[in-house]
Amino acid sequence: MYKVNEKEFASLELAMAYAKVLSEFVTIKGPNFEVCGMFGVDAIKDGKCPDGVVYDWNKASRIGRLKRSERNALVTE
């Protein structure tokens, strides 16, 4: 059983769909976890989230990059 703002759902998928429709900050409580946030940011348009916040995270620049600890290990070897 999952709850969104005290409304119960049989699955996490249904709870997330409902949270997305609400378009507001919610908390989803499940049997073993709790997650909160605003669900439904599906697309970035003109470099901004639907609420106007600038989105500058770029996954492409992070793929294959070594972690700081891995870089340090290579330098010290």
10-69 pLDDT, tens digit each? 998 899 889 888 878 888 999 888 888 887 666 778 888 777 888 777 666 666 655 666
Q: Sign of dihedral through CA atoms 55, 60, 17, 7?
A: negative
User: By residue range, what is the domain housing residue 24?
Assistant: 2-76
DSSP codes of every residue in 8-77: EESSHHHHHHHHHHHTSEEEEE-SS-EEEEE------BTTB-TTS-B----GGGTTTPPPHHHHHHHHH-
Give Cα separations from 53 to 33, 43, 50, 60, 63 (angstroms). 28, 12, 7, 20, 24
Task: Give the total number of structural domains in the chain.
Answer: 1
Q: Is the pTM of this model over 0.75?
A: no
